[in-house]
Amino acid sequence: MKYTDILNEIPDSYFGKTMGRKLEIGEKPLINMAVGIPDKPAPVEVIAAMQQAITDPTNNKYGVFRGKEAFRSAIQTFYKETYGVELNKDEEICILYGTKNGLVHLPLCTINPGDGVLLPDPGYTDYLAGVILARGEHYDLPLYEEKHYLPDFDDVDAAELARTKLIYLNYPSNPTGAVATRAFFDAAVERFRGTETKIVHDFAYAAFGFNQKNPSILQSPGAKEVAVEIYSLSKGFNMSGFRVGFAVGNKEMIAGLNKLQDHTQVGMWGALQDASIAALELGQPFLDEQNELFRKRRNKVMGILTENAIPFSPLEGGIFLWLKTPEGYDGEAFVDYLLQEQSLLVTPGIPFGERGRNYVRVSLAVEDSLLDTFLERLLEEKDLY
C-alpha cells in the first residue's frame, strides 16, 4: 500500500488491524477479552431519547457546528454536580465525535512543528498518531509499577522536558489500571502553571474507581490555566457505538479544537446530542452502579490470581487487568499461547510501549459467566508461572 510520507510515519493502529481478523484458536469456544467494549446495553433512557430524537425534523438538518446549547449546558451541569467544577459552556467545552478524535487532534491545536510531547509508557496506543500529524517530537514519559504508574517528571531528560509543550496523562490508566490522586494532579498543575507546557488528561474511564472516586484534573487549583480533560460516554454509560465525548478546560486549547472541528466535523448529529443529554442526566447514581459491577469483577479476579500466585499490577480503576507474562514469554508470545491452548484472546502489552513488553491486557468488560470461564482456563496454565 502506498501512503503519503506523513502516513508512512504513523504506525498502523493496533486495534484497527486486529479487530475482526480471523483467529486460529484451540478446541474450546473463543472468549474475547481483548477489547474494552462495555458488555451491558445502553441505558433505556438513552435509547428512548434517541428514538424520539430521530423523528424530530430539526435533527435531520444541518445543526450548529459546535453543538446544541442544551448539550453544552448538560455537560456544564454534569461537571458541576459530579466534580464541583464550573465550566463556561461557550468557551470551555468542545463536543467530540468520540474521544479518540480529540486525543489525536489536540497536538494539531496545541503545538508547533518540532515541539516536544511527553507520552506515557505504558500508555494508549493512538496518542502517537496525533504527535506525528502535528510534526511534533515525542518523548518518553516512563511509568513504573513501584511508583504506582504515576510519572515523576524528574525522570524525564531535562533537555526534553524543556522542549515539551504538551503532556498526555490517563487515569484511570489504560492499560495498567492505575489511578491518580488529587495530590498528584495538584502537583502536576502547579509544576507547569506559568510555563508553555500544557496537559491533556484522558479521562475515558472516569466512572471506575474502586478505592475512591476518581478526581478530575480540573478540580486542582489553576488547572484551567494549563489543562484540558477529555471525557467519554462510551465506557461509563455503555455507549461505545454512539461515539460521543467532549473536551473541557483550558479555553485556548478548547478554541483550537473547536476551530479545527469547524473544518472537519461540521457539527454532531442532533439525535446523538439528545441521547447524550439523557445519559448525562442519569449522572452519578448510574455511574455508581457501573462502578460497583466492575468492582465486584475486579475483586473476584484479584482474589483468585493472588491465591494462585499469578502476578499482576494492582487494579485500582478502569476496566483492564495488567497481567504479567510467565518467564520466557513476552506479551505477543503469551497471547498466541493462550489462543492456541485455551482459546482466550487478550491484548499484548507491547503496543502500549516498551515497558509493556512482558504484560498482557485483559478486559473485564465481559459477562460474569465468561469471566469465570476465563479464570478457570487461566488457572490451568498457572504452572507456567
| Confidence label for 242 from pLDDT (cuts 50, 70 and 90) | very high
| Confidence label for 9 from pLDDT (cuts 50, 70 and 90) | confident
The pLDDT assigned to 17 comes to 53
The pLDDT assigned to 274 comes to 95
What percentage of the chain exceeds 90 in pLDDT? 85
Angle at 134 between CA 188 and CA 157, to 5 degrees: 40
Partners of residue 170 on adjacent β-strands: 202
What percentage of the chain exceeds 70 in pLDDT? 97
Does the fold of domain 44-282 match that of domain 5-42+284-384?
no
Which residue, chain included where needed, has cell 472516569? 206
Alpha-carbon distance of 56 to 350, in angstroms, equals 47
Per domain, the residue ranges of the chain are 5-42+284-384, 44-282
Which residue, chain included where needed, has cell 468542545? 94
Q: What is the pLDDT of residues 108-161, one digit of tens each?
A: 999 999 999 999 999 998 999 999 999 999 999 999 999 999 999 999 999 999
Residue 294 has pLDDT above 90, yes or no: yes
Q: What is the pLDDT of residues 348-380, one digit of tens each?
A: 999 999 999 999 999 999 999 999 999 999 999
As a CATH number, domain 5-42+284-384 is: 3.90.1150.10
What's the mean pLDDT in 37-53?
A: 93
The whole-angstrom distance between residue 116's C-alpha and the CA centroid of its chain comes to 22
44-282 fold: Aspartate Aminotransferase; domain 2 (3.40.640)
Q: What is the pLDDT of residues 156-184, one digit of tens each?
A: 999 999 999 999 999 999 999 999 999 99
Alpha helices in 134-247 (DSSP H): 158-163, 182-192
Q: What is the pLDDT of residues 304-352, one digit of tens each?
A: 999 999 999 999 999 999 999 999 999 999 999 999 999 999 999 999 9
Residue 265 has pLDDT above 90, yes or no: no
Residue 34 has pLDDT above 70, yes or no: yes
Which residue, chain included where needed, has cell 488457572? 379
Q: CA torsion sign, 46 to 98 to 126 to 149?
A: negative
Residue 23 has pLDDT above 80, yes or no: no
The pLDDT assigned to 21 comes to 62
Strand pairing of 320-324 and 359-363?
antiparallel
Q: Structure pTM? A: 0.94
172 cis-preceded (ω within 30 degrees of 0): yes
CB-side exposure of 246: number of CA atoms within 13 Å?
A: 30
Residue 19 has pLDDT above 60, yes or no: no
Q: In this structure, are residues 254 and 247 in contact, taking their beta carbons and an 8 Å threshold?
A: yes
The pLDDT assigned to 20 comes to 53
